[in-house]
């Protein structure tokens, strides 16, 4: 039972995760995240004209969307639970399922590995380009693997662990609120001239809500590296030494910890699509060479952490309800 008494996280979360694993993220125009994106695109120019204070406009823009989506989902769930328990729990399962990215994330790793194994570097670059903002145009095989590993680990936190965490806390309303926060950060949370003021609150709120999930991901990565007989001590050292060197207070944690666990070096400069250098610190271990085996291990970690997180939660829920 969560703090929202009508929501029952068991068996919502295991079933939602199983659906995501079996079906993946559907390409559907009424996908909740796509609806949030279209709503934000439509509302942005209206909120920009609301007052002369662009920071205030950005706060109101964010809160209207985030709180509005959470309240809407809560009201629908209340009505459905009142009508029929099965209808209510089915609705919650579907919403949580839409907010998870286990299948789509691991598919990216498998498809890129397939292209690299076939020595098709161009297709591998194109595949990774769909999930990163940096330019992949001139990257060699190591650059492709590096970009893929960094994206997989960052998305392990905000695409799997964080949605599961908020679903465990507050069911469908809270997990969709999280996805709204995450989506708005990706749309307006930039430090350029256009969004420096309007998007500041969206960027900071995303940092706040990802604070705990990023550190849970780090703990689970260290624990997994010990179970798999890899380098948990190096993972912890990389966390302490490297995780806060980059621009994000959260995104660097899973990248640095995984790199330490595999004793590989990630990070370093890359380029944006205009050809400008993106300065990023080098993090992790000593090994410079990156291989397909590192991608396979990244997928193993993602699957294992997703399953173990749900199992630990289920065990804690069982104990507390006894």
pLDDT in tens, 271-311: 888 888 888 899 999 999 999 999 999 999 999 999 999 99
Gap between the Cα atoms of 236 and 274, Å rounded: 36
Lookup: tokens for 61: 């823009």
Q: Quickly list DSSP for 195-253.
A: TTTTTHHHHHHHHHHTHHHHHHHHHHHHHHHHHTTS-HHHHHHHHHHHTTSSS-TTTHH
pLDDT in tens, 243-280: 999 888 999 999 999 999 999 999 999 988 888 888 88
CB 278 within 8 A of CB 132: no
User: CB count, 10 Å around CB of 315?
Assistant: 10
pLDDT in tens, 48-87: 999 999 999 999 999 999 999 999 999 999 999 999 989 9
Interhelix angle 9-23/292-320, nearest 10 degrees: 160
pLDDT > 70: percent of the chain: 95
Looking at residue 2, what is its pLDDT? Answer: 44
- 């997928």: which residue's tokens? 299
pLDDT in tens, 104-132: 999 999 999 999 999 999 999 999 999 99
């Amino acid at each position: 039972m969560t703090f929202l008494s009508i929501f029952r996280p068991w068996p919502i979360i295991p079933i939602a995760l199983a659906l995501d694993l079996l079906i993946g993220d559907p390409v559907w125009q009424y996908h909740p995240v796509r609806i949030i994106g279209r709503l934000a695109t439509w509302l942005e120019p209206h909120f920009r004209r609301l007052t002369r204070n662009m920071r205030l406009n950005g706060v109101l823009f964010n809160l209207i969307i985030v709180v509005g989506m959470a309240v809407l989902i809560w009201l629908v769930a209340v009505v459905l639970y009142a009508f029929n328990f099965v209808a209510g729990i089915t609705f919650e399962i579907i919403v949580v399922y839409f907010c998870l990215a286990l299948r789509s994330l691991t598919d990216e790793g498998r498809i890129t590995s397939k292209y690299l194994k076939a020595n098709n570097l161009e297709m591998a670059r194109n595949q990774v380009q769909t999930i990163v903002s940096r330019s992949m145009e001139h990257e060699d095989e190591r650059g492709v693997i590096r970009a893929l590993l960094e994206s997989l680990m960052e998305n392990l936190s905000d695409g799997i662990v964080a949605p599961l965490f908020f679903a465990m806390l507050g069911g469908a309303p809270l997990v969709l609120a999280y996805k709204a926060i995450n989506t708005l950060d990706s749309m307006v949370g930039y430090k350029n001239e256009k969004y420096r003021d309007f998007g500041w609150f969206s960027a900071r709120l995303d940092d706040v809500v990802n604070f705990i999930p990023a550190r849970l991901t780090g703990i689970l990565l260290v624990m997994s590296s010990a179970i798999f007989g890899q380098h948990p001590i190096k993972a912890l050292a990389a966390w302490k030494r490297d995780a806060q060197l980059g621009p994000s207070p959260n995104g660097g944690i899973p990248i640095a910890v995984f790199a330490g666990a595999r004793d590989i070096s990630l990070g370093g400069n890359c380029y944006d699509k205009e050809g400008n250098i993106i300065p990023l610190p080098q993090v992790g271990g000593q090994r410079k060479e990156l291989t397909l085996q590192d991608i396979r291990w990244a997928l193993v970690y993602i699957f294992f952490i997703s399953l173990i997180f749900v199992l630990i939660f289920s065990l804690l829920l069982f104990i507390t309800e006894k």
